[in-house]
Structure 1
Amino acid sequence: MTLRETAYAKINLALHVRRRRDDGYHELETLFAFVDAGDELAATPAQADSLRVMGEFGGVLDDPFGNIVAKALHALPHGAGWAVTLEKNLPVAAGLGGGSADAGAIFRMVRDSHGLPDDWHARAAKLGADVPACVESVACIGRGIGTELEPIANDLAGTSVLLVNPRIPLATGPVFKSWDEIDRGPLEGANLRAMAMSGRNDLEAPALSLVPEIAAVLEALRQSGAWLVRMSGSGATCFALYETAEQRDAAQVAMPAGWWTMAGALR
């Protein structure tokens, strides 16, 4: 039997950095949302775990044993082993939680076939701050370093979304290091739309200082008829939300040929 799962692209509808902690991490408030598209994983029972990576961005992952998918497999009981194929459709170091989404997909596959241990949340958090949110892949609020999850009324499910990346990798560490350490306040609003509209991404300015091309992506999306445009995570991917799929599709066609794009809807 072959198990299949989509690793849904993660976006941050808002990302408020509140303070730098003594342990080097940052205290965050973020709105996690997920797109109904992303990487694709398939797994079949095997005598031992193995990982084969393919897809447009598969060549970037040149260490299969150090890949977060392999680490997720090691973290969970799932029988003798799985032969996993990962189709890497999401760019790497792009603010979309691609690796975390892949790990989250593994957790869901294990949940559906073997069940998850009671401490799955802690095991997921050890793999990365975004992984617990990516396991469920539903809209929620993330606090702390992003691992303290809180449900929220999701009035944006089904909203048309376009992801755009200038094909420039951007590591998370340098972006956080460049944050100006100004607390601009908490998330506000009663539902996802209100919080997204009143929110911001505090990492946008430091990301722009490192990859100025992000400004061109944001400007192109702002001129495309979207009602919300923002950078996701630590960049360099930006997203735009539209009232209709037709608006989204027209915007995708209008993007410069060299940029990576993915169209979908919010889950």
Structure 2
Amino acid sequence: MKLTQTAYAKINLALHVRARRDDGFHELETLFAFVDAGDQLVARTANADSLTTVGEFAGALDNPFDNIVMRALSKLPRPDGLAITLEKNLPVAAGLGGGSADAGAVFRIIRDAHGLPDDWRERAAKLGADVPACVESVTCIGRGTGTELEPVESDLTGMAVLLVNPRVPLATGPVFEAWDGMDREALPEGPVSKIAREGRNDLRAPAISLCPAIADVLRALATVNPWMCEMSGSGATCFALFEHVEERDRAAETLATDHPDWWQMRGFLR
């Protein structure tokens, strides 16, 4: 048996931090969306579970035995082992849910081969707050720590996306610690396009305080006439949406010329 899955890059079209919880986590309201590109996983039946990492960012996964892919495999019952090859195309600690997306792809691989247990959402949440959303990889509103999900119809499906990262890893924990604690109101109501345009990312300012290059990326994206641009998650990746693929491709070429050291990926919203 051979199964393949794309670990779709996650972006937050809006991310409102409402409060710090008693358990140390943060109360969130976020609009998740997914790009039709990301890491690639190939799984084959084997006697025991194993993981091989390849690709541009494989070297950032310094302990394959503690990789979230292996932990996801350990959460799900099945009759056979799986030998997985992970092509790591997304930067690590980048606000794209890369590890969570990889775990989500593992859940889909096992779903397609054997089905998932009824409590798969709880099992996914134990791996990380973004993992349940990444299993489905559809546009949804996340509340609580991001695990209370409400799928929504998106009027942005098919929109051209450009992801840009200054190649600076940025851990999530310090960004949340740098948040100023101010509740700036709930997500707007209305269609996805309205929430995206009128919402905000409350982690942008604390992320820029730790990684000033994010501001450089956002300034550069603003000059190429996107429909909107914003930082994703806790950074440092930023995204721009375009109404026409030609506009996105021209923007990508301009940024590649002006900033050849930045990472970028093109795709479309799922």
Which TM-score band (shorter chain)? over 0.9
Aligned to 1:159: 159
SS in 2 for 1:247: helix
Q: Which blocks of at least 5 consecutive residues in structure 2 are unaligned?
A: none
Deviation at 1:70, TM superposition (A): 0.1
Deviation at 1:84, TM superposition (A): 0.3
Correspondences of 1:131-150 after superposition (within 5 Å): 131-150=131-150
Q: Counterparts of 1:233 and 1:47 in 2: how far apart (Å)?
A: 37
Aligned to 2:267: 264
Q: Counterparts of 1:191 and 1:249 in 2: how far apart (Å)?
A: 26
Q: Counterparts of 2:130 and 2:3 in 1: how far apart (Å)?
A: 23
Q: Counterparts of 1:238 and 1:79 in 2: how far apart (Å)?
A: 41
1:122 aligns with 2:125: no
Deviation at 1:189, TM superposition (A): 2.4
Q: Give CA deviations for 1:19-60 in whole Å, capped at 9, x if unaligned.
A: 001111000000000000000000000000000001000011
Q: Counterparts of 1:229 and 1:56 in 2: how far apart (Å)?
A: 25
Deviation at 1:225, TM superposition (A): 1.1
Aligned to 1:105: 105
Please tell me whether the aligned partners of residues 164 and 238 of structure 1 are also in contact (alpha carbons under 8 angstroms): yes
Correspondences of 1:65-76 after superposition (within 5 Å): 65-76=65-76
SS in 2 for 1:65: helix
Correspondences of 1:178-193 after superposition (within 5 Å): 178-193=178-193
Q: Counterparts of 2:233 and 2:223 in 1: how far apart (Å)?
A: 22
Percent identity at matched positions?
68
Q: Which blocks of at least 5 consecutive residues in structure 1 are unaligned?
A: none
Q: Give CA deviations for 1:79-128 in whole Å, capped at 9, x if unaligned.
A: 22000000000000000000000000000011111000000000000000
Count of residues paired in the alignment: 267
Aligned to 1:233: 233
Please tell me whether the aligned partners of residues 189 and 198 of structure 1 are also in contact (alpha carbons under 8 angstroms): no
Q: Counterparts of 1:227 and 1:119 in 2: how far apart (Å)?
A: 39
Q: Counterparts of 2:253 and 2:24 in 1: how far apart (Å)?
A: 42
Opposite residue 38 of structure 1, the aligned amino acid is G
Q: Counterparts of 1:120 and 1:258 in 2: how far apart (Å)?
A: 40
Q: Counterparts of 1:187 and 1:79 in 2: how far apart (Å)?
A: 43
Deviation at 1:151, TM superposition (A): 1.7
* TM-score (normalizing by structure 1): 0.99
User: Displaced runs of 4+ in structure 1, greater than 3 A?
Assistant: none
Q: Counterparts of 1:130 and 1:104 in 2: how far apart (Å)?
A: 9
1:25 aligns with 2:25: yes
Q: Counterparts of 2:188 and 2:175 in 1: how far apart (Å)?
A: 24
Aligned to 1:81: 81
Aligned to 2:63: 63
* TM-score (normalizing by structure 2): 0.98
